[in-house]
Amino acid sequence: MESVFDKKKILIVDDSEINRSLLSDMLDDEYEIIEAENGMEASAILHEHEHEISLMLLDIMMPVMDGFETLEAMNKNGWIKDIPVIMISAETVPSYVDRAYDLGVQDFINRPFDERTVRRRVVNTILLFAKQKELSHMVMNQIMEKENDNKLMIEILSNIVEFRNGESGLHVLHIRVLTEIILKWLIDNSEYGLSEDDIYLICNASALHDIGKISIASEILNKPGRLTDEEFKIMKGHALEGARLLQDIPMRENEPLIQLGYQICRWHHERFDGRGYPDGLKGEEIPIAAQVVALADVYDALTSKRVYKPAFSHEKAVDMILNGECGVFNPVLLTCLKELSETLEEELRQRSEGQNFQEEALDAVEHMMESGELDVSDRTLKLLEHERVKYQFFAELSQEIQFEYTTTPEMVILSEWGAKYLSMPETILNPKKDDFGTVLFAPKDFEDFLARLESTTPENPMVEEKYLMNINGHTRWSKVVARSMWASWEPPEYTGAIGKIVDIHEEQEKMDRLKLIAAHDSLTGLLNHKAAKSQISAILEQDDEKKYIMIVFDLDHFKMANDTFGHLFGDEVLKYVAETMKKNTRNFDIVARMGGDEFLLFMPYKDEMESLVQRIFNLLHSEYNGFSIKVSMGVSCAKECNGKYDVLFHMADEALYEVKRNGRDNYCFYKKENMKLGGSE
C-alpha cells in the first residue's frame, strides 16, 4: 500500500468548507491534501512548503485575500513558476478567465464539480508541468555546464598563477568580490553606464588580471626582499604578457570576456595621473574595468600577507590609498572607497564566506542531481543564498525572539521559541492588525519600524532601534535588530526582513539611572546646570508663547557660614535651601544648583510676574541654626530672549549683579535701559 509520504501534495484554497471537502474526497486516495480558507493562509503555507506542493486548486471569490490577489503574490514571490494552478469557480465571465490565465493559471474547473473531470485535469496538469520542468532543467543544466566550465578554467588558471606567486587562492576570490562591490556602487553613483551583465563579465574577467605572471620566473615572483631595477622591469612585463596570452587565443578575440580580460590584464597597473605602466595611459583613457580591478588589487595586496610584507589593517590600507601612497586613482573610485570604507571589510568577509558556503552547497546539489536524489530548479539555487544569509544571521542568536517579516503577503513568522515565549502563533497574518503590531509593539512604533525597513537599501540593510514593548503583559524596553531582504532581480525589490527582539530592560533602566545621577547635583539632589539648560532649551524651542521667567540667585555672605561654622555646616545650609525650593515649587518648575551657592529657577507665569518673584524671594529669607539666610536675585523674561537659553541666562545674571552692585538682599528684573529694583530696601 502506498505511504502518505510518497503522495504528491495538492493545496486546495477555498473559503467554502464543503467545496474543500468535496474536492478532498475526490483526490485524497492518490494525493495528500492540504487546505486553506483564503489566499492569506495559502501564502503562509507556500512560504513554508513551496517545494512540497505539486498543484494548487484555487477559488476566485474569497474573503481576506481573493484568488487574483493570491496569484499576484505567487507571481511576485516566484511560486507560480514551480507550482501549477487550476482555478475552481462558478464564475465563467470571460474577463475573469482571461485575467486568471494572464496571471499564470494552467487550467479552469467549473462548479459544480464532476469527479472524472477533476481527476483527469489534475493528473494532466501535474504530468504536463513535470514534463515542462524536465525540459527546462535539461536546457538549464546545459547552460550551467558550459558556464561552469568557463568559470572553472578561469579559476584554474588564476589559482595556478597565485600558487606560483606564493599567494593564497583567496586573492582571486577577493578581487572578484571587491570588483563586484565597487561596480555595483558605480551603477548608482556614476555615469559609466554599467549594467548587471557588464558586472558579471568584468567580475569573471577580473580573475585573469595576473595571468601574465605565469611567464615570470619563480625566483623573481617569490623574492622576499626588494626587487632590483632589472627584476622589477621583468615583473612589470606580466601586464603585456597576460594581454598577449589572451589576444593569441585562436578565434576568440571578439568574445566579450576575452576583450575585457585583455583590458584588465594590460592596464590594471595604469594610474589616473599617467604614471602607471605599461602604456602610461591617463585618466579616462584607462578602461573603467581596469581601473576598478586596479583598486581592488591594491586594496587586497595591502591587506594580505606577502613574502615581502605583513598584512596591513583595513584602516591603514584605506588611508594609504586615499593619501596617494599607492599611486593616483580615479577621484570617483576614491569617493566610492570612502563611502564603503565602514562596511567594506565586513562585506568582503561575509561575501567570501558566502562564496565558500555557496560552492559547498552547489557541490552537494550537483552530487545529488547526478545521483538522481534531487531534481532542482535554478530558483532553488538562488534560494540557497537566501537561506545562507538567514542561517548566518540566526546562528549568532540564542534565546531571543527571532522573526521573519514578508511584505507579500504581509505576515510575520516567529521562531518556535519566540512564539512560545510570546504566547503567539508562529505564523501571524496581517501583523499590523494583530497583537504583534498593536500590543507587543505600540502601533506607532510598529509603523516606525516598518518605515525604517522600507528606507533601507541592499547595501545598507540593517535597522536597529529601541522600543518600549508589552511582553506578556509587562512593559519592557527591547532592542529590535533586523536585516532587510531583497529580491535578486534588477532593480532589487524589498521583500521583507529577518530579525530579533532582545530584552534590554535592565540595561536600559541602569542607563536611565546613570543618566538621572549624571543630571543631578550630588549634594542637593537638584538638577545640575547642564541638565537644566537642556530641559529649558527644549521648552524655549517648542513653546511659542514664551510665558516663562528665569530667576538666578545666590546666598548673600555665604562664605561667612563656612568660615564661622565650617564647610559641613555650609553644605547643610545649601541642602536646606534646596529642600525649601523643592517644597515651594511645582513639579513642572525647573530648579537647579549651578554650583557653589548659586541656584536657578525656571517657572511659567500666567498674567503677572512680580508676585511670583516676591513669593520666592520672601520664602528664601529664613534662618538655619543661627545663620541668617538672605539672597540676591536676578530675573529675566523668556519673551525677550528670542528662544535662546544663553540670552535668557545672561539677562538674569546681569540683573543679579545689578542687585549686588546696589547692596545685595534684593531682586531685580532685567531691563535693557534701566533696572527695576524691588523687595526689601
Helix or strand or coil: residue 322? helix
Distance, in Å, from the CA atom of 598 to the CA atom of 133, rounded to the nearest integer, reads 84
> Do 430 and 568 belong together in one domain?
no
> Do 490 and 526 belong together in one domain?
no
> Do 667 and 563 belong together in one domain?
yes
* H or E element in which residue 49 lies: helix 39-49
**Phi, psi values for residue 287, rounded to 5°:** -55, 145
Distance, in Å, from the CA atom of 17 to the CA atom of 37, rounded to the nearest integer, reads 8
Q: 32 or 673: which carries more pLDDT confidence?
A: 32
CATH of the domain at 609: 3.30.70.270
* H or E element in which residue 58 lies: strand 53-59
> Do 345 and 268 belong together in one domain?
yes
Tell me if 88 sits within 8 A of 19, measured CB to CB.
yes
Q: 529 or 94: which carries more pLDDT confidence?
A: 529
Residue 364: predicted pLDDT = 45
Tell me if 62 sits within 8 A of 99, measured CB to CB.
no
Q: How confident is the model at residue 136 (pLDDT cuts 50, 70, 90)?
A: low
Residue with cell 606577502: 306
Inside any domain, residue 42: yes
Last residue of a domain, one of 356, 373, 407: 356
Helix or strand or coil: residue 165? coil
Angle, helices 610-620 vs 567-583, to 10°: value is 140
Q: What angle do CA 628, 634, 638 make, to 5 degrees?
A: 140
Inside any domain, residue 265: yes
> Do 527 and 637 belong together in one domain?
yes
Average pLDDT estimate for 157-169: 51
Average pLDDT estimate for 420-447: 92
Least confident of 161-175, 395-409, 457-471: 161-175
**Phi, psi values for residue 502, rounded to 5°:** -115, 130
Residue 16: predicted pLDDT = 85
Q: How confident is the model at residue 369 (pLDDT cuts 50, 70, 90)?
A: very low
Last residue of a domain, one of 335, 356, 377: 356
Distance, in Å, from the CA atom of 624 to the CA atom of 139, rounded to the nearest integer, reads 98
**Phi, psi values for residue 439, rounded to 5°:** -115, -55
For β-strands 107-110 and 85-89, DSSP reports them as: parallel
CATH of the domain at 451: 3.30.450.20
Residue 165: predicted pLDDT = 54
Distance, in Å, from the CA atom of 480 to the CA atom of 490, rounded to the nearest integer, reads 29
Residue 85: predicted pLDDT = 94
Given a cut of 80, whether residue 392 has pLDDT beyond it is: no
Residue 626: predicted pLDDT = 86
Least confident of 44-58, 486-500, 627-641: 486-500
Given a cut of 80, whether residue 368 has pLDDT beyond it is: no
Distance, in Å, from the CA atom of 251 to the CA atom of 248, rounded to the nearest integer, reads 9
> Do 169 and 311 belong together in one domain?
yes
Residue 390: predicted pLDDT = 55
List, for residues 298-351, the tens digit of each pLDDT value: 998 898 877 667 888 889 999 999 999 999 999 999 999 998 887 777 777 665
Burial code (b: 16+ CB inside 10 Å, e: under 16) for 228-243 equals: eeebeeebbbbbebbb
Given a cut of 60, whether residue 151 has pLDDT beyond it is: no
Distance, in Å, from the CA atom of 660 to the CA atom of 669, rounded to the nearest integer, reads 13
Residue 75 Cα distances to 68, 85, 253, angstroms: 11, 12, 41
Given a cut of 80, whether residue 6 has pLDDT beyond it is: no
Given a cut of 90, whether residue 19 has pLDDT beyond it is: no
Residue 399: predicted pLDDT = 60
Average pLDDT estimate for 375-387: 49
- Domain extent for 585: 520-678
Distance, in Å, from the CA atom of 321 to the CA atom of 318, rounded to the nearest integer, reads 5
> Do 201 and 317 belong together in one domain?
yes
Neighbours of 429 (CB within 10 A): 19
Inside any domain, residue 387: no
Least confident of 156-160, 359-363, 524-528, 588-592: 359-363
Residue 554: predicted pLDDT = 94
Given a cut of 80, whether residue 604 has pLDDT beyond it is: yes
Tell me if 81 sits within 8 A of 379, measured CB to CB.
yes
> Do 545 and 424 belong together in one domain?
no
Inside any domain, residue 47: yes
Distance, in Å, from the CA atom of 494 to the CA atom of 459, rounded to the nearest integer, reads 12
The radius of gyration of the chain's CA atoms, rounded to the nearest angstrom, is 37
Inside any domain, residue 154: no
Given a cut of 70, whether residue 430 has pLDDT beyond it is: yes
Q: Let me know if 366 is exposed, middle or buried by CB neighbors in 10 A (0-12, 13-18, 19+).
A: middle
Inside any domain, residue 34: yes
> Where is mean pLDDT largest: 30-34, 240-244, 251-255?
30-34
Helix or strand or coil: residue 600? strand
For β-strands 107-110 and 622-624, DSSP reports them as: unpaired
Q: Let me know if 119 is exposed, middle or buried by CB neighbors in 10 A (0-12, 13-18, 19+).
A: middle
| HSE toward the beta carbon, residue 537, CA cutoff 13 A | 10
> Do 281 and 335 belong together in one domain?
yes
Residue 511: predicted pLDDT = 77
Tell me if 474 sits within 8 A of 489, measured CB to CB.
no
Closest CA to 34 of 3, 18, 55, 51: 55
Q: How confident is the model at residue 648 (pLDDT cuts 50, 70, 90)?
A: very high
> Do 502 and 565 belong together in one domain?
no
CB contact set of 663 (below 8 Å; sequence gap of 6+):
none
Please report the beta strands in 362-505, taking only residues with DSSP state E, as ranges in sequence order.
401-407, 410-414, 427-429, 462-471, 474-487, 493-503
**Phi, psi values for residue 557, rounded to 5°:** 55, 35
Given a cut of 60, whether residue 362 has pLDDT beyond it is: no
Helix or strand or coil: residue 306? strand
Share of the chain above pLDDT 90, in %: 40
Distance, in Å, from the CA atom of 613 to the CA atom of 611, rounded to the nearest integer, reads 5
Q: Which three cell numbers stand for residue 157?
A: 588558471
> Do 172 and 307 belong together in one domain?
yes
Inside any domain, residue 386: no
Tell me if 469 sits within 8 A of 435, measured CB to CB.
no
Q: Which stretches within 371-485 are classed as H helix?
A: 378-395, 416-422, 435, 443-454
Last residue of a domain, one of 508, 538, 564: 508
Residue 380: predicted pLDDT = 46
Q: 555 or 417: which carries more pLDDT confidence?
A: 555
Given a cut of 80, whether residue 46 has pLDDT beyond it is: yes
Residue 149: predicted pLDDT = 45
Residue 138: predicted pLDDT = 57
Helix or strand or coil: residue 465? strand
Residue 379: predicted pLDDT = 47
Given a cut of 80, whether residue 103 has pLDDT beyond it is: yes
Average pLDDT estimate for 641-669: 93
Neighbours of 181 (CB within 10 A): 20
Report CA dihedral (344, 350, 356, 359) to the nearest 10 degrees.
-100
Residue 244: predicted pLDDT = 86
- Structural domains of the chain, count: 4
Chain mean pLDDT for the chain: 82
Q: First and final CA of the chain: distance in angstroms? A: 112
CATH of the domain at 205: 1.10.3210.10
Tell me if 87 sits within 8 A of 105, measured CB to CB.
yes
Q: How confident is the model at residue 217 (pLDDT cuts 50, 70, 90)?
A: confident
Distance, in Å, from the CA atom of 14 to the CA atom of 38, rounded to the nearest integer, reads 6
Residue 401: predicted pLDDT = 85
Q: How confident is the model at residue 395 (pLDDT cuts 50, 70, 90)?
A: very low
Q: Which three cell numbers stand for residue 251?
A: 578565434
> Do 132 and 225 belong together in one domain?
no
Inside any domain, residue 390: no
Share of the chain above pLDDT 70, in %: 83
Q: What is the pTM of this model?
A: 0.42
Given a cut of 60, whether residue 11 has pLDDT beyond it is: yes
Average pLDDT estimate for 113-118: 83
Q: How confident is the model at residue 167 (pLDDT cuts 50, 70, 90)?
A: low
Q: How many helices (H) and strands (E) does the chain have?
A: 24, 20
Residue with cell 562564496: 355
Residue 590: predicted pLDDT = 95
